[in-house]
Amino acid sequence: MQRVRRFTRFRLQPAVYRETRPVEIAMWQVGGEPVPFAEAASRTFHPFAVGTAWGRPWDTVWFEVRGDVPAEWPAGEAELVVDLGFTGEQPGFQAEATAYRLDGSIVKAIEPFNAWVPLPEPGPFRLLLEAAANPMIQVPYEYEPTPLGDAATAGDAPIYRLVRLELARRDPVVWELLQDVVTLDGLVDVLPRDGARRARIVDALERMVDAMDPHDVRGTAAVGREALADVLAAPAASSALRVRAVGHAHIDCAWLWPTRETVRKVARTFANVLDLIERDPGFVFAASSAQQYAWLQQSQPQLFERVRAAVAAGRIHPVGGMWVESDTNMPGGEALVRQFVMGKRFFLEEFGVESDEVWLPDSFGYSAALPQIAKAAGARYFVTQKPSWNETNRIPYSTFQWEGIDGSRLFTHLPPADTYNSDLGAPDLARTERTFSEKGRAREVLGLFGWGDGGGGPTREMLAQAARKRDLEGSPRVELSDPHAFFVAAEAELPDPPVWVGEMYLELHRGTLVSQQKTKRGNRHSEALLRQAELWAATATILRGTPYPAEALRDAWRTALLQQFHDILPGSSIAWVHQDAEAAYERVAARLGELIEEALTALAGDGAGDPAAPSAANAGPLPVRGVPAMGIGVPTPPSVAVPRAHGDGFVLEDAGLRVEIDSRGVLTSIRDLVAGREVLPRGMSGAVLQLLRDTPREWDAWDINEEDQRSGRELLDPVDVRIDGDAVVVRHEFGESALALQVRLVDGRVDLAFDVDWHETQKLLKVAFPLDVRAERAASEIQFGHLHRPIHRNTSWDAARFETVAHRWIHVGEPGWGVAIANDVVYGHDVRTLEGPTGRPMAVARLSLLRAPLYPDPGADQGRHTFTVSLRPGGIPEAIEDGYRQSLPLRPARGGTVEPLVAVSDPAVVVEAVKLAEDGGGDLVVRLYEAHGDRSSVSLTTSIDWESVVAADLLERAIDSEAISAVSARRVELALHPFEILTLRFRAPRAAVKENP
């Protein structure tokens, strides 16, 4: 095999192009952001030579290429061959280009391993190449800080050198022989070393080398193919798996490049795909993310129309049905709903298709709420690959039913190749057979092939692999297919699949719950503003007749949904991406603020209200200080305890709680005066700040490693502790950072307001609360409900969950009593049971506030951050109440009271959204869910008349539902299962509703 491989490398590969001709090259450097083709084509180009350096980081250079295809070259053999200075690493992470004809139409992309452009019939040609000088930020397993992720620090020196740009004639026989050899050589490495099949392949490859003349490879290539024909014709075993190979390119909407570059990556990838569609009648491509299709429609309308035609022909399949491949841990429930609403509506409106699968190969764990949300959006199937990255435990199934918190199930497949970037090579297919858990009774598996992450998609070499492995001994059978065909076949052969219950927790990338807190704050704040804007706009439209700002709301949603992409919201992107995200959140906040004020002004009417008792708008689903849920009223004053000195510390006390703070700035007692219980274990302190080491083994911004938490210190030496008005203020200085903590006792809860000027590196800041609670599990809020997780370490699965996601609250309790901890913008938590100072078990809950990773953004999280955390004894209902108070505080309003459009009789049922229908017909849409995890029967009443009410799916289409038990005037009786989501559509609350774009 050494002889075969040397022959392949030094004889066969160089002979693929039988002759070359020079071309004329000229260039124009943009010197800034990308420009459209028309602008570039109008510029003056200057001569340029191969071997010359080009491309400042993130800049674009347009190359003009002129040449002449010789008349004697056969049709289809002439190609432009390009090497922009490729590093040999994976496509999508370095320089790439787009080839244009003079009319502005795109031919295809130029990327590593796909660096050729087909040329027309013999004669002169002229092309323009848009070359992107994207810097190579990902150097595998180095994770070193780099200035390249920010245009302001990336530098001006060229980072590439044009290595090759010439006209070449490809020899089709030599190329086919090379694909034969690659196929068989791959099998040699995965077959048993002492097996007959491997021996026969090695013998055939030897005979191929013997039969060929190394000095006349082209003249003897056909003889070489004949020597391999028999081993390539040997059929696969009858028990071989069937790999349904689907062309794919998982394109990150942003990561080590900004979204503006993703727009071009999408165009390049689709151009490559359309070229392959013309060459291979069996090739099918699946692409997710409506946002990426929308970008293509805006930036390259001609290419988009070609994609539209390919979708109609069944060659391109829009999949997933989401706006982007979002994170599923941190987006709120309504945001995940809108991912499907916006994505599916785009696919229906633009292509007339509706996908029935959820397509999330690369998100960092999967919420247990997702099955119900997906099913309510019309999905039946789920695809991901990411759980194969688990550090400790492996999900024991490849094909299974995934059951969510409400009992909904999705037929789920984890492609056993453990990659969404397969090249259909022998190693990927052997891994597929080795790791497919159900291979004893099933053989259908999904294979996703094509360069992804940075895009590029499948190549002709991958299709050559598929063709040769359609029925090849020693390999699974490979069949070009589409996702739906796979799922239909997989369901048929596995009618009683195993079941996985609950979240699919990723035992890796736990730091993404903490990194880039400004991006996370923008997400939480945007979700709250979107709820308010829709609620008050719908209320103003129905009660006052003001136009409903439907398009402005859609634009805001789409902007917020884009930022939830699984490398933006998790904080794992370069600085440029997060700067863009923060700017986008500011724009969204400003626009939504305007919409909210316009709606509240309309609702106020001519009434000025009582200046002595100003009104407030409560957008939350629960009453707050006398203001009804989702209504406007005059709030009662908050109950605020005034702190007083006590020994060497301070005390705050009201009718329900007594809180003591000592000179170290920590809580030494939280006494529940009603229950007569102490929250903190004897001798333990609460609200203790912990500064921990944070030096991940790899994947800096992504990972938190448990061993780092053995190294650190508690901040117990404040520079000042004093009373300031109604708060006790604690000030710390550490390293180059400063922190101020304000402790208040308000309305029966302890409120902790943190203001941090953060300038640490590779540190993790947590706040810890030891709790005198005997518990084996803790509850964490997720979308439309909550999840119970063990807090012991009985199993390796329990031990691996040392950092977990929660939204607005966590709860740790024992029968009859517990503690609720809520927050305004924290996602990372850990709760564990430890031995307390008296030898009895206690629970310790910690919230992760800040990190300071160095890669890929060396300035991550530097600067000022604020957090609010609240604690009070109570149950899950109190936790839910405190969580909504944090995210949806009362908003000042003018005028008198406004009765809410809808109200429910039991706080166990929470109204999550009130809006007008997406189709513009004026119907009122109300989405609610059962929040306590119990069966709940409630009455929903409205303050308005309506003609009829129906249950609806997330796309607001009528469905059958057992949840509606009775209907009467202005009242609907509901019976909900635990955590059930229900969408109600009330027909025509007004005769006509105007929409204002």
What percent of the chain has pLDDT above 70?
98
Q: E strand or H helix at 560, and its extent?
A: helix 550-563
Average pLDDT over residues 892-911: 96
Question: How many alpha carbons fall within 13 Å on the CB side of residue 295?
Answer: 24
Whether the predicted pLDDT of 789 surpasses 50: yes
Q: Check residue 931 and give left, alpha or beta (phi > 0: left; psi -120 to 50: alpha).
A: alpha
Q: How many whole angstroms from its chain centre is CA 577?
A: 14
- Kindly tell me the sign of the dihedral angle through the C-alpha atoms of 878, 910, 591, 607: negative
To the query of whether residue 694 is one of the catalytic residues in this protein, the response is no
- Is residue 631 classed as helix, strand or coil in its secondary structure? strand
- Asked whether residue 993 carries a pLDDT value surpassing 50, the answer given is no
Q: What is the pLDDT of residues 6-15, one digit of tens each?
A: 999 999 999 9
Token duo for residue 76: 């289809």
Rounded Cα gap, residues 647 and 659, in angstroms: 13
What is the model's pLDDT at position 927? 98
What integer pLDDT is reported at residue 431 of this predicted model?
Answer: 98
Predicted local confidence at residue 975, as pLDDT: 97
Phi and psi at residue 756, to the nearest 5°: -120, 125
Backbone φ and ψ of 386, nearest 5°: -60, -35
Contacts of 842 (CB under 8 A, 6+ apart): 681, 684, 770, 771, 772, 773, 833, 834, 835, 836
Give the pLDDT confidence of 356-401 residue by residue, as tens digits: 999 999 999 999 999 999 999 999 999 999 999 999 999 999 999 9
Average pLDDT over residues 297-315: 98
CB 437 within 8 A of CB 398: yes
**Residue tagged 């764990």 (tokens):** 365
Tell me the three-class secondary structure of 340-366, residue by residue.
Answer: HHHHHHHHHHHHCCCCCEEECCCCCCE
- The phi, psi pair for 843, rounded to 5°, reads -105, 140
Tell me the mean pLDDT in the region 832-841.
93
pLDDT over 80 at 966, yes or no = yes
Give the residue from 928, 923, 927, 890 showing the smallest Cα distance to 908: 928
Q: What is the pLDDT of residue 8?
A: 98
What is the pLDDT averaged over residues 424-446? 97
- How much is the pLDDT for 715? 98
612 falls in which pLDDT band (50, 70, 90)? low
Query: pLDDT tens, 674-703?
Result: 999 999 999 999 999 999 999 999 999 999
Average confidence (pLDDT) over 882-908: 96
Residue 698 tokens read as 């790899």
Rounded to an integer, the average pLDDT of 412-434 is: 97
Look at residue 994 and tell me whether its pLDDT is greater than 90.
no
Give the separation between CA 56 and CA 105, rounded to whole angstroms.
Answer: 26
**pLDDT value of residue 991:** 42
Rounded to whole angstroms, the Cα distance separating 806 from 960 reads 32
Whether pLDDT at 300 is above 60 = yes
Q: What is the pLDDT of residue 139?
A: 72
Mean pLDDT of 525-532: 98
Mean residue pLDDT across the chain: 96
> What is the per-residue pLDDT for 996?
45
Cβ-proximal residues to 2 (8 Å cutoff; 6+ apart), any chain: none
pLDDT in tens, 261-295: 999 999 999 999 999 999 999 999 999 999 999 99
In angstroms, the CA 336 to CA 344 distance is 12
| Phi, psi (degrees; rounded to nearest 5) at 899 | -70, 140
Q: Name residue, tokens 């509706």.
A: 354
**pLDDT, tens digit, for every residue of 942-965?**
999 999 999 999 999 999 999 999
For the chain, percent of residues with pLDDT exceeding 90: 96
Tell me the mean pLDDT in the region 470-496: 97
* pLDDT value at residue 764: 98
Question: How far separated are the first and last CA of the chain, in Å rounded?
Answer: 68
Alpha-carbon gap, residue 780 to 759, rounded angstroms: 30
What is the C-alpha to C-alpha distance for residues 768 and 307, in angstroms, rounded to an integer?
Answer: 53
- pLDDT of 142: 77
Q: Which residues are CB-neighbours of 229 under 8 A, at least 6 positions away?
A: none
Q: What would the mean pLDDT of 102-131 be, rounded to a whole number?
A: 96
Neighbours of 491 (CB within 10 A): 15
| Interacting residues of 667 by C-beta distance below 8 A, sequence separation 6+ | 659, 660, 661, 680, 685, 686, 687, 743, 750
Q: In the prediction, which pLDDT does 457 show? A: 97
Q: How far apart are CA 921 and CA 913, in angstroms?
A: 18
Q: In the predicted model, what is the mean pLDDT of residues 88-94?
A: 91
Confidence of residue 992 (pLDDT cuts 50, 70, 90): very low
pLDDT of amino acid 121: 85
Instruction: Please identify which of the residues 362, 567, 751, 882 carries the catalytic annotation.
Output: 362
The pair phi, psi for residue 319, each rounded to 5°, is -125, 165
Q: Which long-range CB contacts under 8 A does 968-972 form with residues at least 24 apart?
A: 969/945, 970/941, 970/942, 970/943, 970/944, 970/945, 970/946, 971/939, 971/940, 971/941, 971/942, 972/939, 972/940, 972/941
